[in-house]
A and B are shown apart, each in its own frame.
Chain A
Amino acid sequence: MSADNPYIPFTAEIMKVTDETPDIKTFEINITDPDWNHKPGQFLELSLLGAGECPISISSAPIQLPTLDLSIKRAGIVTEAVHQLYPGEVVGVRGPYGRPFPMEEWRSKNLLIIGGGIGLAPLRPIIQQALCQRELYGDLTILYGARSPADLVFKEELKEWEGAPGTDVYLTVDKGGGEWDGHVGFVPAYLEELGPSPENTVAVTCGPPIMIRFVLKALEKMNFTPEQIITTLEMKMQCGVGLCGRCGLGDKYICIDGPVFSYAEILKLSPDLSALK
């Protein structure tokens, strides 16, 4: 990053493109900046000069550096343009930005990861890091859902996680079909069905705002305290560095004070949960 100008991106080459779902691709990009060091939960600003810039969660753990993954759903102008790119082409990046997940505070605790759709992308670095430092954390439970079996991301990795030590993976889809013989139903309902214990556990969730709302309610019902629940908030971000004023929520900016917040913090910032519309 340019020392005096936070708006200037640098180039990063695309090394690999993986089709995850009909509208999600994972781009592995090469970061040449030797000082780059991100943590799970952080994001970067992705530039396609001519198309624009947008914030994208980093979906791989730091151990993968000097490359990192960006799992991108085709949803707007920039993401649409990125989807047209192939390995060998370059993108612009700047970052990493945002408050990461407080993984140091989670040591020796059980981790309950609850993801929906593309929402698994920012959670994946937690899982990768916890599996890499397995002895530092307690049980790892992953509950992940998508609209349909085809919309599940990281399909190969989900299988690997199932076989990892001390790890349980629960998958669900809103609508089954085809060869799907797994669980069918929404994530919050499946969560209640599974009824995980709040004992010595941190619940981390990310997904569509409506899913997060119901997951928060379900966790509360299961006696998780607001401090035990961590999520990432989505808000229209533009500059990523707390200057453009776009992602304000209460006296916080999502880009520099978040995107990771505990439910306790969200209740202070947005007591009526209108931030999760």
Chain B
Amino acid sequence: MNMKFLPAASLKDWLDLLRSHGTLIAPVKEKDGFIAFRPDPDFEDITLDYQNTVRPIREFFLPHSETLFNFETVQNGFDIERNKPEEPLVIFGVRLCDACGLEALDRAFSGKYTDPYYTERRKNALIISLFCTEPHPACFCEGVQKLMTGPKGADILLYPVEGGFLADPLSEKGDKIIGESKKLFKEPDAEQLKAKDAMVEKAVGAQSCIVDFSLLPEKFKELPPSSPFWREEGEGCVSCGVCSFLCPACQCFSVQDISDGKSGKRVRCWATCQDCRFAKMAGGIDPRPEKGERHYHRLSHKFADAPARNDMIFCTGCGRCIRYCPSHHDVLETLKKFLEYEEVKP
């Protein structure tokens, strides 16, 4: 699959063509100054001048709450009504980390059983990524996933270069989409390709990562949740769950019914393993009552268990959990300390 060049002047036409494939979702600057992905934006409102959005694109595939089905009680039972199929999504301007989050969720939601809601949206979606020319200081996507040099989860990756974008088709679907709008794309010249390589090199160099992730699975086995390290690590955490809610690669959800007694709906919503009720069972038994134990759970899941189960670290290096944690927990600092920690044995 070949890389093509899209002149900046053709972007609007291309996006208009893409709108015919589904609801276009793109980053826009909100009144409060935050950048967020919004459906069906005017071209003039779309901005590409951002490091990353506060919220990842996960919510378009796993909404923070959604109806699994509607039900109605009838004589001798109940009727269940499934939701209607949704419009396909075309998401434009997705950062590498958020696209990689979809790769993680793809694995999480298809195992022995498949989640039909996520899978349906994902199957119908087109993901167009945008390379990061200036990663945020909290970013570590190259360190944890090698995303700068091996992007995952997107159909097309755009590299902003002088006068436009180099469009790299990462999937067959992406290649087909570029092929459909041949007129807008040109063959890239050597200069542009060189500029792209230099951009990648610069971005890789701008990131540093203080953790050797390959050492983590063994270390998690060595220092269980009951270790004093985790007790200390949990201190200061307010269990708000922002680290899960803003994570592009978190899958957990909770299910409950909303009903007037006769009819209602079964809904699911995001759940965070940092909530003290997350693992608590009816009857009151709780395997993880301490914050430190819940931190262990979250981090061991992402860095040890997901690699074992899903062959992938469930962290994309987006840095949101570092940037937005109200108690200033820094996952990289924690993991670094963890790897250096030696338990004092009596």
Chain A contacts to B: CB under 8 angstroms: 4-9, 11, 13, 49-54, 73, 75-79, 90, 92, 208-209, 234-236, 238-239, 241-246, 248, 250-252, 256, 270-272, 274-277
Contact = CB atoms under 8 A, between A and B. Distances in A.
B224 interface: yes
Chain B, interface size category, equals 35 or more
Nearest to B251: A245
Contacts of A272: 224-226
B278 A51 contact: no
Contact of B255 (A52, A77, A234, A256): A52
Given A90-B77, A235-B287, A251-B308, A274 B224 contact: yes
Contacts of A13: 76
Contact of A245 (B69, B253, B300): B253
Given A7-B68, A236-B278, A274-B226, 11 more contacts: A11-B76, A52-B256, A52-B266, A75-B282, A76-B281, A235-B281, A236-B280, A238-B254, A245-B250, A256-B113, A277-B287
A257 B69 CA distance: 27
Nearest to B252: A245
Nearest to A5: B116
Nearest to A48: B257
A54 B268 CA distance: 14
7 contacts: A76-B283, A236-B281, A248-B305, A250-B305, A251-B305, A251-B306, A274-B287
Contacts of B255: 7, 52-53, 238-239, 244
A75 B281 CA distance: 9
Contacts, number: 132
Contacts of B297: 248
Interface in B233-286: 250-257, 259, 261, 264, 266, 268, 271, 273, 278-283, 285-286
Consensus secondary structure, chain A interface:
loop
Nearest to B114: A6
Interface stretch (B88-96, B104-112, B154-162, B334-342): B104-112
Q: Which of B282, B286, B300, B306 has the most CB of A within 10 A?
A: B282
Nearest to A246: B252
Interface in B62-93: 68-69, 71, 73, 76-78, 80, 82
A74 to B, nearest CB: 9
Contact of B264 (A50, A90, A92, A234): A50
Contacts of B194: none
Given A274-B225, A274-B293, A277-B285, A52 B253 contact: no
Contacts of B19: none
A277 B282 contact: no
